[in-house]
Amino acid sequence: GAVVSQHPSWVICKSGTSVKIECRSLDFQATTMFWYRQFPKQSLMLMATSNEGSKATYEQGVEKDKFLINHASLTLSTLTVTSAHPEDSSFYICSAISTSNQPQHFGDGTRLSIL
């Protein structure tokens, strides 16, 4: 089946640090990748949609200058949380699809803790 790899799985860092999370599709070309955030006891909230070679589309309320997304190839997208603060602490999950009607396959997620 489709495999999506996400790194790192766990990050603990000081307030003000920028953190980069990588999402890779290992066995298929991902035309579109998605970034979600999930707070405890809540469902997934879509942050942005990223297509290879173009600018990401951010959901309402998500700051594009704080959450930088780069989708440089058909197998790699990165999310950079710039100048992270404790309120950015969350579970960040990426997913990828090859065609629009196919199910999204999720990475293992990155648990971000900002001290």
Partner 1 sequence: QKEVEQNSGPLSVPEGAIASLNCTYSDRVSQSFFWYRQYSGKSPELIMSIYSNGDKEDGRFTAQLNKASQYVSLLIRDSQPSDSATYLCAVNEDYKLSFGAGTTVTVRA
Alpha helices by DSSP H, listed for 25-110, are none
Does 34 sit near partner 1 (CB under 8 A)? Answer: yes
CA–CA separation, 31 and 77 (whole Å): 11
Does 28 sit near partner 1 (CB under 8 A)? Answer: no
Q: Are 7 and 109 a contacting pair, CB within 8 Å?
A: no
Only segment of 18-26, 37-45, 62-70, 73-81 that touches partner 1 (CB under 8 A):
37-45
Q: Are 106 and 25 a contacting pair, CB within 8 Å?
A: no
Which of 5, 13, 22, 49 contacts partner 1 by CB under 8 A? 49
Q: In the complex, which residues of this chain contact partner 1 (CB under 8 A)?
A: 6, 32, 34, 42-44, 46, 49, 93, 95, 97, 100-109, 111
